[in-house]
A and B are shown apart, each in its own frame.
Chain A
Amino acid sequence: MLLALVAGCFCWGWTASAITFTATLDRNSIAVGETATLSLTFQDGAPDGTPALPPIDGLDIAYEGPSTQTSFVFNGATTENTSTTTHNFAVTAKKPGTYQIPALSIEINGVRLSSQPLTLTVTGSGAPTAEEMNNGSQVAFVKLVLPKKEMYVGETAVAELQIWLRDDVINFGNLQLPNLTADGFNLGKMSMRPRSRAQAGNRLYTIAPVAITVTAIKSGTLTLGPLTAQMTIVLAFNGQNGDPLQRFFNQGERKDITLNSDTYNVQGLNLPPNAPAGFTGAIGRFQMNVAEGPTTVNAGDPITLHVRIQGSGALDTVKMPDLSGWNGFKIYPASAKTESSDGQGLEGTKTFEEIVTPQNADVRAIPAFSFAYFDPERRQYQTLSQAAVPIVVHAAGALPMPSATTTVKTTDNPAAPADILPVKQDLGPVIATGTPLLLRPGFLAWQSLPVLAFLAALIWRRRTDSLANNPRLRRQRAVVQLVQAGMADLRKFAGENNSEQFFATLFRLLQEQLGERLDCPASAITESVVDDRLATLKAQPATLAALRELFQLCNQARYAPVRDPQELAAVAAKFETAARELQALKV
């Protein structure tokens, strides 16, 4: 419904100076549920805070905020500066009537300013009358239906907003519900329900219902509505509504409409006093089923209670019965799961899973407990009781150790025992912590030992094999050792002045050393090889001369063997020098 624009009701306030105060309404007539804007305008001044408005029965007034505007006017040589501050209020009509917004008086800079009173006329909601709805004259209208005339505080019900569309409406859409006034209700979930058809007068209507969950929050008269629904409908042209072909080929006439519902009053009632113990605010009709298990446990073992509360009422307000008074049990926080069957959360099942553990073997039963709720149909409290359930609790240490703990070795997922095993009484060994072995330098250095040992063995093996495959090298090393040993014998024989043995040994050593160098048998060595073959090895002339002298001394000793020890020692030294020089020759 379109409202006519209303000329502002300007009420110029009196001022002794340039400050002015104006109160205006953007329109002076609105329908129930609609909102008008009240503006308090101050020019060349402003109050310190937000201006206060008195409450007016039938109107909801809400402050929307201030706005400021500054303008400069050049007038020849002078400039006029004008500052305007406006405080806006939203005024929503709750019921029809004529309302007087009284004159407002505000002090600014010590000057009291007043506005003139304003009049706001609130008409009905614009909803069609019952006769208009029933005779089929309306193309579309809305009905607000609540199945109850009385509701208890905290009780939840489903209101239904029915959108009736006559049979000449071939389509509709873009439904918006911008305003639903509710006084004393909390509005909850909205959902579309299946459409149906009904007859009003001699016309058929399609009903598109929208379910709205409402909860009463106070006693007294509660008002739901009016509601404004905006939507786009497509109307059939004349004669089109009965012919499907015409409906198919002709798109009809699009039209944006606004529908207003009437208000719906409900009496809010307080809950009766003397609520039973265990009542936590659940209102509705419920049944309770409880399943528990296992009933033979060890102390400390968990027992699971499945408390299933089923029925109609606000399931959100249903809470797990209080178990805090249970002695001998440890109570864990319960988990809850709600399964709603109506889509609004007002019918269905709420299941609580509560884990309790008996703490000792003296516990004999799961205690009784109860769930209390208020039944609004019977108008009285109801209590659902669960009787005590006997259980058998063994002492934790009395049972044999669970098999899982005695057979677990290194399984990937050891089976869980029935209870934790008791604490250990023996501290056992303590283990040095700190840097892991892998990061300790000493540990890592140790790891090089087997590698080094292997390398040593490998080198030794290579050298051994090399020697075994080289007889000349082997002979060379043997002769070196033989000469070293022979030098000791020579010094010994020299000391003993045993010239016969001395020169015999000397001759043999010369043969062995030269034979090795010349790669020929030692027995084949004579003085002649010194000049014939040794010269080819590029031996020093002094060495060759010394060797000749040594051979000659050996020969002379066969005929004149007696020499003194000093001479023999000098001969031995000469041989040692010659042998060293021979060994240094490259062959």
Chain B
Amino acid sequence: MNARSLILTCSLAALLMLTAVGRVCAADLNGPFDAANKLYAEGKYAAAADGYEQAIRQAQAAGVASPVLYFNAGNAEFKLGHLGRAIAAYRQAALLTPRDSEVLGNLAFVRNQVQGATVRPSPWQSWVGSLSFNEGTCLTAGFFWLTFILLGLKQIWPALAPRLRGITQIIICATVLSGAVLAVQSYSHFRGQTAVVTDANAMALSGPYKDAVNAFALHDGAELSVLDRHDDWLQVTDGSGRIGWLPGNQLELLPGA
């Protein structure tokens, strides 16, 4: 294999990798989606929310997800006054399409309705979160490939080395930076977990059992960081540093720190 055929092979591999994010046909979801939209337009928000939920489950069973389904489900839940469920749905949509301005706009609007202490992403977390986890992975992989392609070109055509030096250094820096971002994303994706309160009368307790002393009250829609688990109970902390235990049925869990 000569050098030119090697480059061609590598380029094809990179192209295949970057287009590997699966996008499948959504024809099967259109029926329940349209039906739920019709119920929403008629003001039947509860039925619409059920319809969106059913479509989301159908998509999950098929191994796919639709950000639009989550977005519309969030709207229906908000119309029902379920701030926590609406926030959870918008955040699921934002995980799939992190730069969708409509999703971000509605999420910000509903978050503003929530009372009491809540955990909000820091500026750097928001910046890192502007890429989905798979997007961050592909970006890092792309820079990684470019780095080694450039290094390989310098070996094959040493005469190009002076001209490639600047771009190579830039690409290496970009690889390191995107790798660091990916590391943060990985930690957040696999280790961090947040929860949204979906119960209007949630009360954090001092321990993971029903007879524990009340610790503090939580409002519907409050976002919490999950610290620990014990059976069906979750130890959480709110934005003001208070720590308590809540049963899992009063929360909706979401990935991310």
B240 within 8 A of A: no
> Are the C-beta atoms of B105 and A417 separated by less than 8 Å?
yes
> Are the C-beta atoms of B111 and A426 separated by less than 8 Å?
no
A438 within 8 A of B: yes
> Are the C-beta atoms of B72 and A424 separated by less than 8 Å?
yes
Given contacts A451-B148, A460-B155, contact A410 B10 (CB under 8 A): no
Smallest Cβ-Cβ distance to A456: which chain B residue: B6
Task: From B21, B81, B109, give the contact of A432 (CB < 8 A).
Answer: B21
B245 within 8 A of A: no
Contact with A along B143-186 (1 / 0, CB 8 A): 01101110111011010000000000000000000000010001
Contacts of A429 in B (CB 8 A): 23, 26, 66
Contacts of A426 in B (CB 8 A): 68
If A430-B23, A431-B22 are given as contacts, then 5 extra A-B residue pairs at C-beta distance below 8 Å, sorted by A number, are A332-B81, A413-B126, A424-B68, A431-B23, A453-B149
A458 within 8 A of B: yes
Docked pose: A434 CA to B59 CA in angstroms: 12
> Are the C-beta atoms of B26 and A427 separated by less than 8 Å?
yes
Contacts of A446 in B (CB 8 A): 13, 16-17, 141
Q: Which of B51-95 contact A (CB under 8 A)?
A: 59-60, 63-69, 71-72, 75-76, 78-79, 81
Taking residues whose C-beta sits less than 8 angstroms from the other chain, chain A's interface range is 35 or more
Contacts of A414 in B (CB 8 A): 101, 104-105, 108
B-to-A contact residues, CB < 8 Å? 1, 3, 6-7, 9-10, 13-14, 16-17, 20-26, 29-30, 33, 37, 40, 59-60, 63-69, 71-72, 75-76, 78-79, 81, 96, 99, 101-102, 104-106, 108-113, 115, 123, 126-127, 130, 133-134, 137-138, 141, 144-145, 147-149, 151-153, 155-156, 158, 182, 186, 189, 200
Q: Which of B25, B63, B96, B101 has the most CB of A within 10 A?
A: B101
Q: Which of A413-460 contact B (CB under 8 A)?
A: 413-434, 436-438, 443, 446-447, 449-451, 453-454, 456-458, 460
Docked pose: A169 CA to B100 CA in angstroms: 79
Docked pose: A330 CA to B78 CA in angstroms: 12
Q: Which of A295-350 contact B (CB under 8 A)?
A: 300, 302, 330, 332-333, 335
Contacts of A457 in B (CB 8 A): 3, 6, 151-153, 155-156
List the one stretch of A90-98, A175-183, A380-388, A398-406 in contact with chain B: A398-406
Docked pose: A434 CA to B61 CA in angstroms: 11
The minimal Cβ–Cβ distance linking A435 to chain B, given in whole angstroms, is: 10
> Are the C-beta atoms of A449 and B13 separated by less than 8 Å?
yes
27 A-B pairs whose Cβ atoms sit less than 8 Å apart in the complex: A330-B81, A333-B200, A408-B104, A409-B99, A410-B130, A416-B105, A417-B105, A420-B110, A426-B68, A427-B66, A428-B26, A428-B66, A428-B67, A430-B23, A430-B29, A430-B64, A431-B23, A432-B21, A433-B64, A438-B133, A443-B137, A446-B17, A447-B144, A449-B9, A456-B6, A457-B3, A457-B155
Docked pose: A447 CA to B146 CA in angstroms: 11
Docked pose: A408 CA to B101 CA in angstroms: 5
> Are the C-beta atoms of A461 and B158 separated by less than 8 Å?
yes
The minimal Cβ–Cβ distance linking B93 to chain A, given in whole angstroms, is: 10
Smallest Cβ-Cβ distance to A423: which chain B residue: B72
A412 within 8 A of B: yes
6 smallest A-B Cβ distances: which pairs?
Answer: A432-B22, A450-B148, A405-B105, A457-B155, A408-B101, A410-B130
> Are the C-beta atoms of A420 and B101 separated by less than 8 Å?
no
Smallest Cβ-Cβ distance to B69: which chain A residue: A427
> Are the C-beta atoms of B17 and A416 separated by less than 8 Å?
no
> Are the C-beta atoms of A437 and B23 separated by less than 8 Å?
no
Given contacts A433-B64, A450-B149, contact A443 B108 (CB under 8 A): no
Contacts of B158 in A (CB 8 A): 461
Docked pose: A64 CA to B98 CA in angstroms: 68
The minimal Cβ–Cβ distance linking A420 to chain B, given in whole angstroms, is: 5
Contacts of B71 in A (CB 8 A): 423-424
Docked pose: A412 CA to B107 CA in angstroms: 13
Contacts of A416 in B (CB 8 A): 105, 108-109, 111-112
Contacts of A428 in B (CB 8 A): 26, 66-68
Smallest Cβ-Cβ distance to A438: which chain B residue: B137
The minimal Cβ–Cβ distance linking B183 to chain A, given in whole angstroms, is: 10
Smallest Cβ-Cβ distance to B126: which chain A residue: A412
Docked pose: A447 CA to B137 CA in angstroms: 11
Docked pose: A580 CA to B127 CA in angstroms: 69
Q: Which of A413, A437, A450, A451 has the most CB of B within 10 A?
A: A450
The minimal Cβ–Cβ distance linking A286 to chain B, given in whole angstroms, is: 26
> Are the C-beta atoms of A461 and B81 separated by less than 8 Å?
no
Docked pose: A414 CA to B101 CA in angstroms: 9
Smallest Cβ-Cβ distance to A433: which chain B residue: B65
Q: Which of B21, B64, B152 has the most CB of A within 10 A?
A: B152
Task: From A409, A421, A434, give the contact of B102 (CB < 8 A).
Answer: A421
Contacts of A425 in B (CB 8 A): 37
Docked pose: A429 CA to B59 CA in angstroms: 12
The minimal Cβ–Cβ distance linking B81 to chain A, given in whole angstroms, is: 7
Q: Which of A332, A429, A456 has the most CB of B within 10 A?
A: A429
Docked pose: A458 CA to B155 CA in angstroms: 6
The minimal Cβ–Cβ distance linking A414 to chain B, given in whole angstroms, is: 5
